[in-house]
Each structure stands twice: as C-alpha cells, then as structure tokens.
A = this chain, B = another copy of it.
C-alpha cells in the first residue's frame, strides 16, 4: 500500500466508533474497512450485516457521544489515540493482520519509531531471573533497543525498570487508565513520564483474563523478537512466545535449571527451536540482519480499500448459500481457502457471509486466515 495518510478528526471519530462497536474486533474492523471503504460507511451498514448473520438482538453500535467522551477523557489524561494510518503507528505492529486499528498512548510516542524487543517472563520470578531481566533490559537499552513488556509482576517489571532510563514501552491489558496489578502503579507512572504506555482497550476498561492474550500479541507484535526469561510450562509467557513465532518474529529464551519449574517453559522453547540467549549481546546478534544491522520492520498488512471486485454485489436475499457456509464451519478452525473449495461459492460472497457472521458474534478468526464458529453463548473475544 501507499504511505499512510493521517486521519481527519471526523474520520478519527468514525474509526473510534467502529472499533468500539459490538463484535468489531481488529480483523473485522479491517474487513469492514475493505468492504465499505470508510469507517463512516461501515457504521451505517453494521446493524443490517449482523442481522443477516443471524443475530436477533440489535447490534450495539457505538454512539458518537460515547466516542467523544472517550476522546475527551484521553485528552484529560494527556493520552492520545494513534490510528493505523497515523505516522506514529509502529511499523512492526502495522504488519499484523490483527493490528489494533487504534491504540491509546500515554508518554513519549517517539519510542514507537525505535527498534523494539520484548522481554517477558514469570510473575513469580526468582531473584536471579529478575536480576537477569533488569540487566539484560539495561544493556539492550545501552545498545539502542526499546524494551517492550506487559507491566506484570516479576520479569516484566524488572525489564521495564532496567530500561526506564533508555526507553521502555508497557502494554496494558485493560484501558490506558487501568494499570494492573495495583502494585505496579508507581512503575506505570514512571513509564508514562519517561517511557510510553499503550492500551488497545477502551478508556476505563478493567482488564479481565481474556484480555491478556490479546495484549500479549501487541507486546510481541511491537517487537522484532521476544525474549522469555523464566517461564513455567503452560504459562502466559509461552503464549507471547508462540504469538511472536506466528507473527514471524524471533523467539529467544534464557535457559535455566531444570530443577526450577520456573525455567521449564523457557527450556522447552529452546528445545523447540527458540534461540538460546544469555546476554543483551546475544539478543542483538539474534536480531541482526544479514549485514549485522538490526532487521528492517516487516511490511505493513494491507489496509486500504481492496480491488473493486473484492466484495462484488450479490443477491443478499438468497439464504441457501449462507446456510451452506455455516454448515461447513465448526469449533475447529478451517482455512478460508478450504471453505471456498468446499462450498464452491464466489470469494466475494464467502467474504461477505463471514463478515456477517463476525458481526453477529458467531465467528472467530485464527492465524493463517482460518475461521471457526463460536459456540452459542460463548463470549466473543471482545
């Protein structure tokens, strides 16, 4: 795509309303923008699309007044909203298919232009683990890296502290005014002052368990690579590492004694192919491109309006192909290409049907352009 063009104030308001409307996640947002060309046009179509997707209650479209209240609240905090087309929007994050269309930022947005690396790990980290995280973060800062983490207890906090002087980004799971856990509040204030705090969720949203994996994709997505320091098997840090791998970023891990359960996850990552790192120099080396310089950011995911034929007109009153698509969907993700092959429908029709199911809260997107049906009553992933 061409270089991004910043949004006008009116466009920004429409983007915020669309992003805050019910069942509009980042992928759906992108599909709507491609289909309708603008957030304003998508807002006008939302209710009808959801109805056609099988929704009975009307879809809650975010009113303009609510979006204006959020913008005003952000302004009072000293925070700003950065949209995908804005020049400040970080290039690494823009490369993701599920990049947040808008992200709230509190602090120094210049850090978004730096080359970033994520340091994550156990909340109940050992003294050694914390020392490793703080030292590695400080040394990465001295080498010119921006250190990204999630403000959690343990490794995350130690990494932020180590990089406070050089530049660190904390990504929150809830709204930009809701740091978690409570004892991280002083660190949150320090980062807002000297570094940068980011949040995808609306102002005032208290973080819930399901928000954390979403937050983790931003931590890894902002970064050229993710370093795991002390992580138990089946821990959240391993989710961040998996996301980094799926995003095509470097996955690195600091090894530890197998006698310490807090190290088993990091060791498992190494066994599975993550790069073993012991120091900031190792991390910098792992992230170096062919010439020894840090790698360039990956290319932005397409955002602008698609070719004219992407969503061709079709007869929206014909219900039979729509039920055919639904019958081929289930709880296990299936590739959209495979659906196309099995249903023998035109790509525009299939895309529109999936968009309607998304807005009805019945469809979930997965990495690799795969989709699954959500069980009735399952919480939509916000």
Which residues in A have some Cβ–Cβ distance to B below 8 Å? 128, 131-132, 254-259, 263-264, 267, 270-271, 276, 278-279
Is B264 within 8 A of A258, CB to CB? no
The smallest beta-carbon distance between A97 and chain B, in angstroms, is 33
Q: Can you offer 28 A-B residue contacts whose CB atoms are under 8 A?
A: A128-B257, A128-B259, A131-B259, A132-B257, A132-B258, A132-B259, A254-B257, A254-B258, A255-B255, A255-B256, A255-B257, A255-B258, A255-B263, A255-B267, A255-B270, A255-B276, A256-B256, A256-B257, A257-B257, A257-B263, A258-B278, A258-B279, A264-B278, A267-B276, A267-B278, A270-B270, A270-B276, A271-B276
Chain B contacts for A276, CB-based, 8 A: 255, 267, 270-271
Chain B contacts for A257, CB-based, 8 A: 128, 132, 254-257, 263
The smallest beta-carbon distance between A234 and chain B, in angstroms, is 16
Q: A267 CA to B259 CA in the complex, in Å?
A: 15
Q: A132 CA to B259 CA in the complex, in Å?
A: 7
Chain B contacts for A256, CB-based, 8 A: 255-257
Q: A257 CA to B128 CA in the complex, in Å?
A: 8
Chain B contacts for A255, CB-based, 8 A: 255-258, 263, 267, 270, 276
Q: A255 CA to B264 CA in the complex, in Å?
A: 10
Q: A128 CA to B257 CA in the complex, in Å?
A: 8
Please give me the residue from chain B that is nearest to A136 by CB atom.
B258
Q: A259 CA to B136 CA in the complex, in Å?
A: 11
Chain B contacts for A270, CB-based, 8 A: 255, 270, 276
List the 5 closest pairs (A to B, CB-CB), nearest first. Answer: A255-B255, A258-B278, A271-B276, A256-B257, A128-B259
The smallest beta-carbon distance between A125 and chain B, in angstroms, is 12
Chain B contacts for A128, CB-based, 8 A: 257, 259
The smallest beta-carbon distance between A87 and chain B, in angstroms, is 39
Please give me the residue from chain B that is nearest to A132 by CB atom.
B259
Q: A267 CA to B277 CA in the complex, in Å?
A: 9
The smallest beta-carbon distance between A127 and chain B, in angstroms, is 10
The smallest beta-carbon distance between A245 and chain B, in angstroms, is 18
The smallest beta-carbon distance between A280 and chain B, in angstroms, is 11
